[in-house]
């Protein structure tokens, strides 16, 4: 055991340093871990598949989610996956409008509600309300007000997405709720927030369009392009994550001060953060940023090319047969670009564009990518990827959902896995476990969805103590 000299100088008194305060491993297990190869160490500490035996970071936090669609629900799901108890509040019988959305109106899971056995919940609703308890509540009815305020007293915060001023009119906004619970954190997420466009709606496509993101997505007009909406609702998921960051900061602030706070979040405003250098470019030089498609305005070569042959030429599914032809290629530093030019048998391109500052210019990129796709015209995606990798260059196929699902890398890390959902049976999970690994307090998914009002008895009766007879009466009157 280490010792250190005391403060009395000539007396030379010493005191023992406890083992736990000494540097280095504290046990044989930690000693063994220090000797492990790094990758083996990561496998051990993250222990993918055994997340449920570890503690959760947000245990003890209770949050109310009066949200709809993807944007604001996702912000609360992040809390639930980290261990918070989240109560999702929906309108009686109907539930969250997102329940009625499905790709091309084709894919549903059942049931939606016990009074509507033939109506299902669209799979588009999956991943956005994970691990939450579901209750129903009609805010307009006076009979339910006391139950709502009691939940506020017992909770740490609430997230809502109604039009600005709606909750204030119902006396459910921050300035009313802080009187009930001074530690309460109130979050509003919507389209524009206060200002000239306060009444504007909130949709992912609105965020992409009005914030300028769609204007720089897609190919330039010179190549037959036009502003392009991302097929996925990227701004919904992105904005939801930003709200979660604000909530965690508010929880830390409350720990320091004992006080809650109000968070107001504009989805359109959030989308402007994705524009990178667009605003500074215009502010300093007066240049409006242009679309540049699958290439890059700052690096070359650093883009996606199309190959002439499919990896699945006999596949009946056109998404597999026709789309499995794209490869990401990166060779922007000088030695890599030289090697790329040798591979495609165009060393003259390197002679012409030896310096990156020359080949990153627009006219140079048009010529370089044209020659790359010309070289790949008689090859499949897998052939192009292998040739470039064998030459020491970075190249990866553009995966579709099927290939992501089958990826050994994602499977080993637990990003994609099957899980038995207690309501809807076996389901493929990719949301919870794709958000980074945490060795001590990992995310986890207990369930994805539950039917509308599935936990009315649990919350109203077991938590709030409301008699079952009252709950039955509310149910019959469609108050819940």
Domains and CATH numbers, the chain: 3-35 (no CATH), 62-272+455-476 (3.40.50.10540), 302-402 (3.30.1540.10)
What are the DSSP calls for 154-174, one per residue? T-SEEEE-SSTTHHHHTT-SH
pLDDT at 6: 52
pTM equals 0.88
Place of tokens 């070289």: 375
Q: For position 260, what pLDDT does the model report?
A: 95
Q: What is the pLDDT of residue 234?
A: 87
Distance separating alpha carbons of residues 199 and 220, to the nearest angstrom: 33
- In the prediction, which pLDDT does 179 show? 93
Closest CA to 369 of 298, 290, 293, 295: 295
pLDDT for the residue 158: 96
Instruction: Judge whether 339 and 329 are in contact, CB under 8 Å.
Output: no
User: Nearest CA to 266 among 201, 173, 177, 170?
Assistant: 201
Q: What integer pLDDT is reported at residue 1 of this predicted model?
A: 46
Both structure tokens of 57 = 């970071």
- With a CB cutoff of 8 Å and minimum separation 6, the contacts of 400 are 319, 320, 323, 324
Whether 124 and 73 have beta carbons less than 8 Å apart is answered as no
pLDDT at 5: 52
How much is the pLDDT for 34?
77
Q: For residue range 27-81, what is the model confidence (pLDDT) as tens digits?
A: 777 777 777 888 889 999 999 989 999 999 999 999 999 999 999 999 999 999 9
- Token readout for 42 is 């990561």
Peptide bond into 111 cis (omega under 30): yes
Q: In this structure, what are the phi and psi dihedrals at residue 327, rounded to the nearest 5 degrees?
A: -135, 135
Across 151-309, where does the E strand assignment appear? Answer: 157-160, 185-190, 261-266, 302-306
Q: Which strand (E) or helix (H) includes residue 210?
A: helix 204-210
Q: Which of the residues in the chain have pLDDT under 70? A: 1-14, 19-20
Q: Contact, 279 vs 213, CB < 8 A?
A: no
Chain centroid offset of residue 191 CA: 19
Nearest to 189 by CA among 164, 224, 154, 157: 164
């Amino acid at each position: 055991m280490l010792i250190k000299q005391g403060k009395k100088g000539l007396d030379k008194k010493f005191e023992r340093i406890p083992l736990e305060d000494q540097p280095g491993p504290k046990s044989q297990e930690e000693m063994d871990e220090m000797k492990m190869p790094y990758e083996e160490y990561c496998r051990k500490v993250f222990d993918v598949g055994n997340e449920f035996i570890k503690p959760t970071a947000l245990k003890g936090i209770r949050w109310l989610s009066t949200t709809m669609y993807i944007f604001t629900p996702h912000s609360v799901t992040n809390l639930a996956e980290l261990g918070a108890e989240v109560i999702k509040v929906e309108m009686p019988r109907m539930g969250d409008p997102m329940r009625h959305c499905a790709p091309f109106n084709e894919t549903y899971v059942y049931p939606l509600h016990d009074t509507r056995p033939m109506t299902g919940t669209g799979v588009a609703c999956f991943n956005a309300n994970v691990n939450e308890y579901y209750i129903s509540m009609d805010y307009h009815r006076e009979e339910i007000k006391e139950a709502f305020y009691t939940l506020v007293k017992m909770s740490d915060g609430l997230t809502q997405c109604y039009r600005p001023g709606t909750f204030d009119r119902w006396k459910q906004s921050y300035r009313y709720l802080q009187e009930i619970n001074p530690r309460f954190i109130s979050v509003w997420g919507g389209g524009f927030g206060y200002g000239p466009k306060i009444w504007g709606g909130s949709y992912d496509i609105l965020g992409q369009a009005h914030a300028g993101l769609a204007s720089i997505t897609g190919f330039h007009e010179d190549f037959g392009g036009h502003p392009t909406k991302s097929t996925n609702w990227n701004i919904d998921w992105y904005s939801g994550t930003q709200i979660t960051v604000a909530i965690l900061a508010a929880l830390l602030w409350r720990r320091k001060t004992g006080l809650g706070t109000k968070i107001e979040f504009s989805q359109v405003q959030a989308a402007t953060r994705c524009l990178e250098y667009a605003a500074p470019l215009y502010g300093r030089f007066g240049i409006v940023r242009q679309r540049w498609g699958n290439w890059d305005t700052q690096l070359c070569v650093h883009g996606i090319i199309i190959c002439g042959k499919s990896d699945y030429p006999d596949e009946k599914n056109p998404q597999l047969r026709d789309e499995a032809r794209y490869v990401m290629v990166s060779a922007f530093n000088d030695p890599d670009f030289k090697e790329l030019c040798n591979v495609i048998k165009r060393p003259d391109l390197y002679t012409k564009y030896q310096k990156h500052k020359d080949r990153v210019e627009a006219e140079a990129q048009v010529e370089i990518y044209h020659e790359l796709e010309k070289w790949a015209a008689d090859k499949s995606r897998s052939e192009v990827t292998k040739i470039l990798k064998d030459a020491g260059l970075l190249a990866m196929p553009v995966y579709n959902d099927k290939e992501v699902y089958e990826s050994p890398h994602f499977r080993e890390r637990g990003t994609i896995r099957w899980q038995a959902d207690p309501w809807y049976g076996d389901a493929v999970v990719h949301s919870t476990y794709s958000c980074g690994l945490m060795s001590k307090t990992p995310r986890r998914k207990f369930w994805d969805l539950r039917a509308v009002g599935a936990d009315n008895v649990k919350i109203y009766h077991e938590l709030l103590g409301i008699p079952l007879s009252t709950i039955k009466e509310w149910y019959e009157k469609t108050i819940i």
